[in-house]
Structure 1
Amino acid sequence: MTDLTSVLAAFATGPLSTTEQVRIVASLSALDWLAVGRAGAQEPVARILRDMVLEEGGQGQAHLFGHGAGPLRAAALVNGTVSHALDYDDTHFAHIGHPSVAVLPSALAMAEWHQHPLVDLLEAALAGMELSIRVGLWLGRGHYQTGFHQTATAGAFGAAAAAGRLAGLSTDQMRMALGLTATRAAGLKAQFGTMGKPYNAGIAAAAGVEAVQLVQRGFVANPDALEGPFGFGATHHGAQDAAAALDGLGEEWLLERVSHKFHACCHGLHAALEAARSLDIAEPEVAELKVRTHPRWMSVCNQLAPETGLGAKFSYRTVLAMQALGHDTARLDSYTGAICADPRLKSLRNRISVEADDSLSETQAHLSLLRRDGARREADHDLQAPMSLSTREERVRAKAAKLIGHQLAEEVWSMLRTGGQAADFAARLHTGEE
């Protein structure tokens, strides 16, 4: 039997054999994370968490999104929550989890406090995100379908790995930290649609930091509490084949297949929007548009006639009509009640139909367009289809520019690619708004 925790601990503390490609992908995720976090820094959930931490006081060890600083655990809690507040962060479909929002807040807090250079931060975040994906694969789809939020559960182990690497834990200490995290990892899909969903990401980030800090001080826990008897896998509807989940660890980087969001709406809509891009649909030409999608999305993001901007983010018909009318679906301010009430959008929306197709995967969509001139065109898209690194970089940097401004986006990207201190990156979490 594979000793899962020992393998993960050795990976998290040992030398990493990385490629230039995966390092760029990790840097893009860091840019994306900072951009969506700054953009969400004034959301109600962000204000509530940040105000709570600042009112509690304590040593200001690490920057918070928006303004202020807090203790390491509290900073990880706030920054994990805030960066997931808009649900515009990256997703890995191997286990349906958001790697960056659990791991980067933990890594950044520890890197800032220990005065690490950015290269160390990115290496630790890379290790932590990869580890979270592998744990997610081991837990399996049954864990997610039962109701556990993989961002919070698998993500907590990635957060501990990243923080522990930066804190200089030995392999035995890392095993202990992962075992302790097993008793702290938590998060339910029951919170979806509420402030509890982004809070799940914050819980994961904070749990990782806390476990590492305790182990550093000599705290003793069961190092086998991840996969052992009565452990996390056994009690959380998980525990799949460890050997399969660990296959290629350290040589093959699953993080390379992370999916960055390029539309400010539910990820279930993205394959259809990407397919529509290839059709280059424009409202005057559309007589009829049919969408086929995986059945799971029918109950998630198929609102037929939403009246609010939030509702629009969960509506195939609305977002496709928006795109055809020339609205930028990557911009947060594109989703409004006024858009939903636009007579042109309503007219076009009524020409769009959506149906379930269980032959498609969760990352696929098929579009069939009937033009007014009678011509028919079809397009497919799979979010898991390989994207060239240059295209990914272009689109992530463009998204960041729309969220935080071109100058700041380019400044942060240059910093990530050329080096500097983690503290300089952390300082960019502040928006200047109180």
Structure 2
Amino acid sequence: MTERVMELGMSGQDDPAGFLVDLALMPERRLPRDMLALARLSLLDWLVCGLAGRAEPLADKMRHFAQTEAQGGSASLFGGSTAPARLAAMVNGAISHALDYDDTHFDHVGHLSVGILPAALALAEERDQSAAEICAAFLLGAEGAIRLGRVLGAAHYNRGFHQTATAGAFGAALAAGRLAGLNAQGMRRALGLCATRASGLKSQFGTMGKPLNAGLAAANGVEAVQLAALGLTTAADGIFGPQGFVETHSDAPDPAALRADPQDFRFRENRYKFHACCHGLHAMIEGLRAACPTPPDPGQIARIEVRTAPRWLRVCDIKRPGTGLEVKFSYGWLAAMVLTGRDTGDDRSYTDALALDPALADLAARVEVGGDHDLTDQQVRGEIVLTNGHRIAFDHDLSQAIPASILRARLQAKARALLGAGAGPVLDLWGRLDGDPASVRACEIGALIRAGGG
């Protein structure tokens, strides 16, 4: 880049919370064009995931919850109706994460779009703002969430916190605060209030509580901004101060990670899903598919050895899933699906009946999963051992960036696969966002999600 991306004032250099405030208030003209383009892809991918999840059992429950609580409101809900901004953010965050098919950032091990975009859209609809403003706010909120997630470090995640909901809530507050027009003092108050609200546990994985975590992140961000705008006071620094969020939620924080490489946006490493399951399984799926374009007969497979980053052993290694949701967090079942030709990209594959399939259970029982500290969160290595002694090696690294043109094509194919004929309006919006995002209003996006795409 020819221009310094982040020109921090003294506040950002003197205290870490000031860095986040300055980040959220950065003028749009200083944002890298390629990062804004990636933010637009995230907006569109989030829309696809939300539209595809609008008929999930969780979606009915969340809309019912909104209808029993809401009194007016102009923010749209996936699948119809409107609600107040905070409530809409929670409902849309949960619905868009229901399929677990949304983007992931491995720097802080969390899903950015589902926790931040619902908050941004809800505020933007209330204020008749543009898609360009939504994407700029999302980009800066996501960058703040990533950097705070890196400060909290692996210790935070490994203790059982779900960073989509914890660090993600601060990202939602930064994005919502920018769109609400908070000044630096108001933004600082919003972050302080969010620090006492952010929450979310990995123990919810495999249940409806996991997508709810994303909704809570979005709702907490909106609520913190709304309360800050009313003038509620808070700790001077609720994130990094004594007994603040970092001190109480991480045994080994890394404060230097907040301002590391200030000229480079970490959002550049955002990764998108092409399989409707936990992202920790995607490297294995890609590796097996590449090594076995024509899978061997299951009867000829003695065992499948999988080596993965130890972190994932407590996340997506459910040995005997009992539901379709739990299948999405099982190395054994996903390996068996790949090697028996099941479609891992179609969410309709993950039924409760699949969890009870005896043939899959038999093959899944031959999958041996072990942790390897030499592997990153995005890598896998392994071998398929056949009954005749032959070994088929496989490996994959998700950190290898996909060229922009291929990424765009794969996300469009994902939209068509998930939405069918309903993908048309989303793909039309895609073209408009590429052309002039400032001309697309938040109310148009809201109308699209209420109508269900078509």
TM norm. shorter chain > 0.5: yes
Question: Which residue number in structure 1 is paired with residue 431 of structure 2?
Answer: 414
Name the residue aligned to 1:153.
166
Which residue number in structure 2 is paired with residue 228 of structure 1?
241
Which segment is superposed worse, 389-398 or 123-132?
Answer: 389-398
Corresponding residue of 2:10: none
The separation in 1 between residues aligned to 2:249 and 2:367, in whole angstroms, is 40
The size of the alignment, in residue pairs, is: 432
Shift in alpha-carbon separation, 1:21–1:58, aligned structure 2, 3 A: same
Query: How far did 1:384 drift?
Result: 2.0
Verify the 8 A CA contact 2:316 2:331 in the aligned structure 1: yes
Deviations 1:69-110 (A, max 9, x none): 001111111111211222222111111111111110110011
Alignment partner, residue 267 of structure 2: 255
Unpaired runs of 5+ in structure 1? none
Moved more, 32-41 or 152-161: 32-41
| Partner-residue secondary structure (3-state), 1:152 | coil
Whole-Å separation in 2 of the counterparts to 1:352 and 1:142: 28
Distance (Å, rounded) in 1 between the aligned partners of 2:70 and 2:424: 33
8 Å CA contact retained: 2:78, 2:452: no
Q: Report if aligned partners of 1:178, 1:223 keep a CA contact under 8 Å in 2.
A: no
Question: Following the alignment from structure 2 to structure 1, what is the Cα–Cα distance between the partners of residues 278 and 31?
Answer: 31
What secondary structure, in the 3-state scheme, does the structure 1 residue paired with 2:273 have?
coil
Residues 1:416 and 1:371: Cα distance change in structure 2 (over 3 Å): farther
Match in the other structure for 2:119: 106
Distance 1:323 1:58 in 2: 47
* 1:398 equivalent among 413, 420, 424: 413
Matching of residues 39-50 of structure 1 within 5 Å: 39-50=52-63
Q: 2:372 aligns with which of 336, 354, 357?
A: 357
In structure 1, the partner of 2:324 is 309
Q: Which of the numbers 64, 81, 102 marks the counterpart of 1:89?
A: 102
CA shift in 2, pair 1:344/1:142, >3 Å:
closer
Distance (Å, rounded) in 2 between the aligned partners of 1:305 and 1:357: 22
- Say if 1:32 and 1:52 are closer, same or farther in 2 by CA, change over 3 A: same
Matched, 1:240 2:253: yes
Cα deviation for residue 388 of structure 1 reads: 1.9
Does 2:167 correspond to 1:144?
no
Q: Secondary structure at the match of 1:149?
A: coil
Gaps of at least 5 residues in structure 2 are 1-12
Letter in 1 for 2:137: A
TM-score (norm 2): 0.87
Contact persistence 1:38–1:430 (CA under 8 A):
no
Aligned residue for 2:166, secondary structure, equals helix
Aligned-pair CA distance for 1:326? 3.0
Partners of 1:187 and 1:341 in 2: CA distance: 30
Which amino acid counterpart does residue 24 of structure 2 have in structure 1? Answer: A
Match of 2:449 in 1: 429
Q: Which amino acid aligns with 1:417?
A: D
SS in 2 for 1:429: helix
More displaced 10-residue stretch of structure 1: 162-171 or 11-20 = 11-20
Instruction: Indicate the SS of the match to 2:277.
Output: coil
Correspondence for 1:265: 277
The alpha carbon displacement at 1:415 in A equals 3.4
Structure 1, residues 252-296: CA drift from partner, whole Å, max 9, x if none? 111111121211112221110111232243234674443222334
DSSP 3-state at the match of 1:124: helix
Q: Distance in 2 between matches of 1:200 and 1:91?
A: 15
In structure 1, the residue matched to 2:19 is 7
1:306 and 1:161 map into 2 onto residues whose CA distance is 37
- Which amino acid is 1:408 matched to? P
- Alignment correspondent of 1:119: 132
Secondary structure at the residue paired with 1:366?
strand
| Alignment check: 8 A CA contact 1:36 1:86 kept | yes
Alpha-carbon offset, residue 350 of structure 1: 6.3
Q: How far apart are 1:192 and its partner, in Å?
A: 2.8
8 Å CA contact 2:51, 2:452 repeated in 1 = no
Query: Which residue pairs with 2:87 in the alignment?
Result: 74
Change (3 A) 1:372 1:86: same
The Cα of 1:332 is off from its aligned counterpart by 0.7
TM alignment of 1:159-198, pairs within 5 A: 159-198=172-211
Matched, 1:20 2:37: no
Aligned to 2:401: 386
Give 1:162 shift: 0.5
SS at match of 1:368: strand
CA distance change for structure 1 residues 344 and 410 in 2, over 3 Å: closer, same or farther? same
TM-score by length of 1: 0.90
Q: Aligned-pair RMSD on alpha carbons?
A: 2.6
Find the aligned partners of 1:145 and 1:373 in 2 and give their Cα distance.
40
User: For residues 274 and 103 of structure 1, what CA distance do their matches in structure 2 show?
Assistant: 28
Which amino acid in structure 1 is aligned with residue 253 of structure 2?
Q
1:281 matches 2:296: no
